[in-house]
A and B are shown apart, each in its own frame.
Chain A
Amino acid sequence: MSAETTSPPAPHLAKRSARRRRAFQLGEFRGLTLWVGAVLVFLYFPICVLVIYSFNESRFAMNWTGFSTDWYGRALANRAARTAALNSVIVATCATAMATVIATAAALVLARRNQFRGKTAAIGLMSLPILVPEIVTAIATLIFFSTLGIRLGLGNLIIAHTVFSIPFAFMPIRARLQGMDMSLEAAARDLYATPWQSFRLVTLPLLAPGIMAGAMLAFVISLDDFIISLMVADAGSTTLPVYIFSMIRFGITPEINAISTMLFAASVSLVTVYWLLSRPRR
């Protein structure tokens, strides 16, 4: 081993080679971090602006005059907004309950590996509400209800929301089932459990996180739905997004920002719970 190869290189050389070395770190692209940062800024910038301006004192949304929480007070005191919010919660709760039960039953069949006649068609039908553009679903539902003369008030909305929430409830439940140890239920049967007992005592508890996650997702989807509610809801059953839409038409105000921020916070909390539930355990 010769002396000159092991002696440390001059400082300026070391620095240069350190930079060059970084350049060929395999799979690294120069500027990639910057790119990703820019995309994340793009995704969060509008939300941040929305939230910040909800604390604007001025009554014109654009001009920042000072910090204030007045608009939240106004929004919470707004009777129409409260009614709309209540409608949203009622619709989302009912639709979620029905969609989750329906989706769980379907997932128990469709998550299994066996093939049967009509399985592909059944899966196709299950994903139909995701594939059809929302505006098309909205007017088809509108036509359907008005042609048959079905006027159930919130009931119409609940039915419509149930339909398009089913696939969203279905996906995490099916994923959970597919990741489950298939031999557990057989073990329960081996230990003298009836099919119903092994379902209730083994499958259902194991499936519970998936069902919760599916319910969360369905709830968020229903809560956030706008187009279908806009078309299907009649005057007495306005939901919060539809109410926000009608406000936007009269110009943007910090009050809309405040309502939107609260709706945003509700969605994010639910999605966070969903994320924590559906994360693979370690």
Chain B
Amino acid sequence: MKNKNTTWTTRILIFLIASGILLPMVHKDPYFLHICIIIFIWSILTFGIRIVLITGHLNAAQGGFLGMGAYFSAILTMKLGWSFWISLPASGLAVAILAMIVGYPILRVKGAYFVMITFGITEVFRQIWMMWKDMFGGPQGLFGVPKPSPIDIAGLHISFSSKMPFYYLALVVLLFTVLVMRRLDNSRLGITLRSLPQSEMLSESIGIPILLYKLIAFVIGAFFAGLAGSLWAHYFTYASPDDFNWTNSLFMLMYAVIGGTQTVLGPILGCMLLLSLDEVLIEFQEYTPIVLGLILIFILFYLPGGLISLPQKMGSLLKWRKK
């Protein structure tokens, strides 16, 4: 049963990757590419919130980590003159180190208190960006973040002035995220992390240092938020404090829960469907939160495993009918 599921997940993943690579060759509309890039960046973020979510913690600081990644990358390229290709991993690492410092004291706290603390952390970050004008540009943020510098791969000169190369860049980073997360899921770390919310007491009693494991999940999540932030800053060419507030964490949570947290497909599916829905409903923009909220309520009631569990649910329903 489990093996069957994993082979299906692999098949769907390969299909998604293949269509991700081929689609822009058929459909070159820049607006379409823009939506895809947004979906890719949000998927990376959603993966980051999911890895903490499976330990039973809702990390509302993810929105703040996204912003920190964007600002770090902007500062590294604009003020220190680093190349984007170095500042992308560097901002991921910087945010991971930040998460390590922040996470150590706060990961002892559970449930609603953890949500409130991480929510507070995002707000503290936002205040820092607003107040520290010399470094972070104050309320209007940092403008003129350069596009990624051109590179030569296998004799091809790739410049990032158009959307297409950035599409592939975001896709590569997303693929990297998916690969890492998938390996984590099947490894001892993933299994242990998923066991934590079931009984922390039991885990502690058989020698699992739960604080360390939670910290590892938190830091990995923050690392990917940092990467996403860097992509964000260099795609939109600015980093502004208004973009990085705690509601971002809520949206990530919604995408993860609606898509399903069981497999790595969930976050991708959630981001794809809901962000496309956002675009479809763009005429009725002020009403989209209502639609999203209704979808969330429906999913929580009838599909607690998220959209990814739909085929399974349908299967068991059909069996039940036959009986």
A associates with B: no
A residues in contact (CB < 8 Å) with B: none
